[in-house]
Structure 1
Amino acid sequence: MKQSKPIPVTAIFDIGRTNKKFFLFDKDYKILQKQQTNLEPTKDEDGYPCEELEALDSWVRTKLKKALQNDGFTVKRLNFSAYGASFVHLDRNGQAVTPLYNYLKDYPEELLEKLYQDYGGEEQFSLETSSPPMGMLNSGLQLYWLKHKRPLKFKEIQHSLHFPQYLSHLICGKLSTELTSIGCHTALWNYDTEDYHQWTQEEDIAELFPKIQTVFQTYDTDYEQSSFKTGIGIHDSSAALAPYLIAFEEPFILASTGTWSINLNPFNDEPLTFGELKKDCLCYMNIFGNQVKAARFFLGKEYQHQTKKLSDHFNRKFVEGSVELDPELIQKLAANPDPAKKLKLEKGHNSGPYPQEEQGDWEVHQFDSYKEGYHQLLLDLVAIQVASLKLAEGSTDIEKVIVTGGFSQSDFFTTLLASLLPEKKIYTSSLPHASALGAAMVVNNDTDKKRADVFQEKLGLTHHEPHDKLKGLNYSWAQSVAG
């Protein structure tokens, strides 16, 4: 029996902090194969958890080798989507000089103060770089920290690669930098001059970065007796935005929900104000090198924390989707002026549109039932989501909001969001692996608007109407959450 010809595929590694995924896509971006793993973290020299680079490198090489050896497929292109705010620093022999530091690691306050003092003050520095002060999450400051706190290690560094570009380098051996990684709250890029910020020059840091390439750059690669093109890698948030940006001509805001809610507006190029930075606004760059205004909130973390408290107090196992929206109860809670019942942010207090000092615990025992407490929680979280969306919208007039991620699966959340935003059209997307798909589209340079209908079909959009009894619900909670 004659063997069928192998299927040409695009291979994508989608590397998250928790889940590491490997995909094979056909020419129409159908997933032919998906594999996933979780790798145990290691610890850096201070005992702080971080990515185990050797284990990750081994997993990537092993999965790619098996795909190349599979007679059913021919890998034509390879690309990487990976989390940002992370660097791998290489010495002159191409070996990692330091661990891949965790971006949640504490940053020395006195060092941050010195940086701001030397380069125009916190406000000017943050505005020029469109980067809220976030310590290690401003990944460029990791290099500043190394220079001043680990000078011997810093001297060993020959090249610093953003994490997606390190993964590409692992296979093709090329050294690159690209804008979706540089532009993501790194404190490296001056959005006014469209170049590296002055401080990176004066601190001898800019010279560590390889030449900037476009996100569509590919390299001819010979690996494991196979030949294919390897992409440069892409920051995962920009990758997840790419399919929507390619599919739609009309403006939209993409509300990516999960542990973080990140509201991305690719149609707002206004400079950020310092007030907006303080409210957790920042800038990303899209695949075309243009600014994306974003507003964040620690939505999922707060939700998980408070639903556990409610479950523990009412001795009820939490089951997602088990509480249906009760419009009469929502109206009653919205009309209640008692500030004691309003949500007190415990995990997200220093994020989002209303950053604040910690206010203490939300007293869930004051509610008569689990149902009542859950309704108050969702009402307040959605109210913050609305405020965050409006920050991302700015002065642009955008009708379409597309909700992705975990909260897009909650009818309670999406119906309430549509009810509080009756002037908007709220959609959810069923696209499960947007960052992997975006990385695949980019490495194939597939941005042809003539295929927009094909791409739109993959997004699986569902329109969500306001509840008849809640449409235009007036709920002014900003004052209470802002304290």
Structure 2
Amino acid sequence: MSQNKVTAVFDIGKTNKKFFLFDEEFQEVHREYIRIDEIKDEDGFPTENLEALKNWMKKVFNDILKTDRFDITAINFSTYGASLVHLDENGNVLTPLYNYTKQIDESVIDSFYQKYGPEEDFEQITGSPKSGMLNSGMQLYWIKKNKPEVFKRIKYSLHLPQYLSYIFTGIPISEYTSIGCHTALWDYNKRDYHRWVYDEKIHLILPPIVSTETSFNMNYNGKRIKIGVGIHDSSAALLPYVRSVKEDFILVSTGTWSISFNPFSDSKLSKEEVENGCINYMRINGKAVKASRIFLGNEYKRQIEFLSEYYKVPRDFHKNIIFDYDIYYEITKDFEPMFRWESLETETMPRKTILKYPNIEEAYHQLMIELVTIQAESIKIVAGNTKSYKLFVDGGFTDNNVYIQLLSHYLRNMSLRTTKASLGSALGAAIAISDKKLNSKFLKKNYSLKKHVPFIIK
């Protein structure tokens, strides 16, 4: 019986750990997933159970190799960023995988910026706003200052995607997309590590940098397999678009965070862009990706809960509301903001939420007009004034009719398309180590591409 040639991908999120097999057309042919309970670090803070994760990955992969259904030719890894695994000279893990939401001493952060600031310049150069442990470089500085005995024993510090690759190869490396995700390690002007990395001798424990497309042809359990070096999940989700779309575009990935990616901006981050929440990611070749992010999904969820209680309706009321032009016209005729945000900041928001509508459809349209206005501004920040872009939207808000109608209206100069990309980062990891060229029909075939036309203004 002839076996299907497939690429294996471990897609490791904070909650779900997934394993996929993709055939040569990048169609999913197998999936497994698990949830692994967190453990606690030495301070009692929740953290990833690395040992359990490693054991699950090895078992899943070894089991699939034993079956005769698939011929696995390659494997790659996609994970969340801002996370480092520290290894000693024997390859043993030295510390817990510190959670990027863990608080660290403000005195350590202050001493860092006093030494290497001023803050604004540093944030511009590194594309990384001051964010504590979410800047994984700060974790290395913190360990050096607060845990010097541990720091002395570190042979290599690996970003999480590269540690997962290391589990299978034993080869320590660094790659661009992990270095470039708000780590505060990279100087985007020099296209090299920032001066502080060398001053603090951090570079000595960071393995050599390779392109994200790098792979190692290895003998794994008696089988020749191409093993990738791993990729940061946001950059992985962007890759299928970069490879298949010929025009310049912006991708808006919606969910708890709404992140707008512009892989085609040649300008460095300005002071104003940093103040407006812009950061840099990196493409697989080290080129900067300008990005802006807003806590849109989180705010939406909170306001939906508020509206549900206010109007005494079920929590899922919003799923049935579609865009109504007449309501939109009445609200915008004499518009005033009515919502007080819980996780967003806008200059015009009132001191408290005051609603003047008798029914929830109008209140919901008011909410969406205010939220989508913020979303459109976030997209305009990364678009700049120089080019026209296609606009792709994926994630949770693609099913929200009111959101899509309003966004296509507010950004009428962009051609808006939605995609269904539930496999986005996993698929990106498979594509990263593939030699296959993607054509312009790829998104239509694999991502349910749908075009949207702005509504007619009456």
Q: TM-score under structure 2 normalisation?
A: 0.95
Shift of 1:232: 0.4
The SS at the match of 2:168 is: helix
The residue number in structure 2 matching 1:224 is 221
Counterpart amino acid of residue 30 in structure 1: Q
Q: Report the AA paired with residue 401 of structure 1.
A: L
Describe how 1:332-343 pairs up with structure 2 within 5 A.
Answer: 332-339=330-337, 341=338, 343=339
Distance 1:344 1:64, change over 3 A: same
Matching residue within 392, 395, 418 for 2:385: 395
Alignment check: 8 A CA contact 1:218 1:443 kept: yes
2:47 maps to: 50
Q: Secondary structure at the match of 1:63?
A: helix
Question: Which residue of structure 2 lines up, in the alignment, with residue 428 of structure 1?
Answer: 418
Deviation at 1:288, TM superposition (A): 2.5
Question: Does residue 386 in structure 1 map to residue 376 in structure 2?
Answer: yes
Q: Which amino acid aligns with 2:342?
A: E
Q: 1:335 to 1:98 in 2, by over 3 A?
A: farther
CA distance in 2 between counterparts of 1:398 and 1:135 reads 36
Alignment of 1:233-244 (within 5 A): 233-244=230-241
SS in 1 for 2:441: helix
Query: Retained in 1: the 8 A contact 2:116–2:122?
Result: yes
| Distance in 1 between residues matched to 2:74 and 2:5, nearest whole Å | 9
SS at match of 1:192: coil
Contact (CA 8 Å) 1:253, 1:398: kept in 2 or not?
A: no
Provide the C-alpha distance between the structure 2 equivalents of 1:346 and 1:361, rounded to a whole number of angstroms. Answer: 10
Q: Within 2, Cα distance between the matches of 1:63 and 1:189?
A: 35
State the shift of 1:64 in Å: 0.8
The residue that corresponds to 1:479 in the other structure is none
- Residue-by-residue CA offset, 1:21-64 (whole Å, 9 max, x unaligned): 11101111111101222221122222222211112111111111
Higher mean C-alpha displacement, 326-335 vs 209-218: 326-335
Choose 126-135 or 248-257, whichever is displaced more.
Answer: 126-135
> Match for residue 405 of structure 2?
415
Which residue number corresponds to residue 449 of structure 2? 461
* Equivalent pair of 1:268/1:396 in contact (CA under 8 Å): no
Hey, what's the Cα distance between the residues in 2 that align with 1:88 and 1:396? 41
Q: 1:362 aligns with which of 347, 353, 357?
A: 353
Alignment match, 2:24: 27
Q: Gaps (5+ residues) in structure 1?
A: 471-483
Residue type of the alignment partner of 1:35: E
User: Hey, what's the Cα distance between the residues in 2 that align with 1:38 and 1:462?
Assistant: 33
Q: Is 1:247 matched with 2:253?
A: no
Aligned to 2:143, what secondary structure does the other structure show?
A: helix
Q: Give distance in 2, aligned partners of 1:66 and 1:412.
A: 46
Q: Tell me what 2:122 maps to.
A: 125
In 2: Cα distance, 1:19 partner to 1:363 partner: 39
Partner residue, 1:478: none
Q: CA deviation at 1:223?
A: 2.6
- Equivalent position of 1:480 in the other structure: none
Deviation at 1:267, TM superposition (A): 0.6
| Corresponding residue number in structure 2 for 1:109 | 106
Cα deviation digits, residues 248-289 of structure 1 (max 9, x gap): 111010000001111001110210012211211011111222
In 2: Cα distance, 1:359 partner to 1:108 partner: 34
The 1-side partners of 2:163 and 2:348 are apart by 38
The change in CA–CA distance for 1:35 and 1:106 in structure 2 (over 3 A counts) is: same
Which stretch of the first structure deviates more once superposed, 428-437 or 264-273? 428-437
Cα distance in 1 for residues equivalent to 2:320 and 2:430: 37
2:294 to 279, 294, 297: 297
User: What is the identity percentage for the equivalent residue pairs of Structure 1 and Structure 2?
Assistant: 41
In 2, the alpha carbon distance for the partners of 1:79 and 1:20 equals 14
SS of 1:143's equivalent in the other structure is helix
Could you say what secondary structure the match of 1:368 adopts? coil
Matched, 1:263 2:260: yes
Q: Give the alignment's Cα RMSD to 1 decimal.
A: 1.9
Q: Give the C-alpha shift of residue 338 in structure 1.
A: 4.0
Q: Give the AA of the match of 1:330.
A: Y
Equivalent pair of 1:106/1:136 in contact (CA under 8 Å)? yes
Whether the aligned pair in 2 keeps the contact of 1:346 and 1:360 (CA below 8 Å) is: no
Cα distance, 1:119 vs. partner? 1.1
Is contact 1:346-1:361 (8 Å) kept? no
Match of 1:344 in 2: 340
Aligned AA (1:107): I
SS at match of 1:321: helix
Contact 1:267 1:396 in 2 (8 A): no
Partner SS, residue 206 of structure 1: helix
How many residue pairs get aligned? The number is 457
- Residue number in structure 1 paired with 2:314: 317
C-alpha spacing 1:315/1:73, structure 2 compared with 1 (3 Å): same
Q: Whole-Å Cα distance in 2 between the matches of residues 85 and 357 of structure 1? A: 33
Structure 1 outlier segments of 4+, above 3 Å: 335-339, 356-364, 451-456
Deviation at 1:347, TM superposition (A): 1.9
* CA displacement at 1:433 relative to structure 2: 0.7
Shift of 1:147: 1.2
**TM value normalised by structure 1:** 0.90
Query: How far apart are the structure 2 equivalents of 1:313 and 1:66?
Result: 52
Q: 2:34 aligns with which of 17, 25, 37?
A: 37
Q: Is the 8 A contact 1:147 1:154 kept in 2?
A: yes
| CA contact 1:429–1:462 (8 Å) conserved in 2 | yes
Give the one of 306, 324, 327 matched to 2:325: 327
Unaligned runs of 5+ in 2: none
Distance 2:329 2:120 in 1: 41
User: Deviation digits for residues 276-320 of structure 1, max 9, x if unmatched?
Assistant: 112110111112221111111011111111111111222211225
Contact persistence 2:388–2:413 (CA under 8 A): no
In 2, distance between residues paired with 1:396 and 1:136? 35
Q: What amino acid sits opposite 1:458 in the alignment?
A: N
How do 1:191-206 and structure 2 match up within 5 A? Answer: 191-206=188-203
SS of residue in 2 equivalent to 1:34: strand
Counterparts of 1:110 and 1:247 in 2: how far apart (Å)?
47
Distance 1:361 1:157, change over 3 A: farther
The residue type paired with residue 386 of structure 2 is T
